[in-house]
Copies of this chain bind each other. A is one copy, B any other.
C-alpha cells in the first residue's frame, strides 16, 4: 500500500510519515501543492493525504485538478478550521473524507483504512493461501496456528505478491511498489528480501510458496490454479 502525504509543515509531515510507516505503508512526502499534484499524477498511490493550507496550490485545487484528470485515488483532506465552509468546499472538490486539525493519529489511521478498504475489490481483510493466512488490516501472518513475524519490507513484498497472486511481478514492479526509489535497477535487494521471506514462511520440508520466474521476477500461485 502506497500513500502520498502532501503537507508543508515539516514536523507534521515527519510525524505522519513515521506513524504511517509503522503501520507498514510506503509513504511519499510532498511539500507543496504543485509537487503533490505532480507526484500524484505520475505515480500510483492507494491514498492521498492532503493538507488544505499549502504553498503554491492549496489542497482544494490539487484535489480538483486530480479529479479533473479522472483520478480515482481516494483523498483524505486535512482542514484547519472546523468551519462547515471548508468541509463543503473539500467534499465538493472531490475529496472522499476530511479530518480537522488537530486530530488524533488513531483517528487519521481509522479514516485512512476506511478509504483504503472502500476502493479495493478485496472483499475481506483476510486472505488464505495454502496454510498461510494473512490479515491485511492488522498486518499479521500465520502459518497454520503459528504466527510468523515479518519485518516491514518483508511484509510489504509478501502482501504485494499475495494481492496479485497468479500474476508474475517483475523486480521493477516490486521495487516501484514497495520502495520509493527512482531508476535503481542495479541492486539485488528484492532477491535478498525474498530469501528472508522464504526462510520465514516456508517450512524446511515443503517446496517454496514463492516461485522464481527466471529473468522476470516472482509469483505466488493459488493452489490448484492453472
Interface of A toward B, CB cutoff 8 Å = 11-12, 14-15, 18-19, 21-24, 38, 42-44, 82, 100, 102-107, 138-139, 142, 145, 147, 151-152, 166-168, 170-173, 176, 182-186, 214-217, 226
Which B residues are in CB contact (< 8 Å) with A186?
14
A170 in complex: contacting residue of B19, B104, B173, CB < 8 Å: B19
- A138 near B167 with CB under 8 A, answer yes
- A170 near B106 with CB under 8 A, answer no
Q: List 14 A-B contacts (CB under 8 A).
A: A12-B183, A15-B184, A18-B185, A19-B185, A22-B216, A42-B103, A44-B107, A102-B182, A138-B166, A138-B168, A142-B226, A147-B226, A152-B214, A152-B215
Q: How many copies does the complex hold?
A: 2
Q: Which residue of B lies closest to A169 (CB)?
A: B22
Which B residues are in CB contact (< 8 Å) with A102?
42, 182-183
- B172 near A22 with CB under 8 A, answer yes
Q: Which residue of B lies closest to A103 (CB)?
A: B42
Q: Select the residue from A102, A103, A104 with max chain B CB neighbours within 10 A.
A: A104
Alpha-carbon gap, A186 to B17, bound state (A): 12
- B172 near A38 with CB under 8 A, answer no
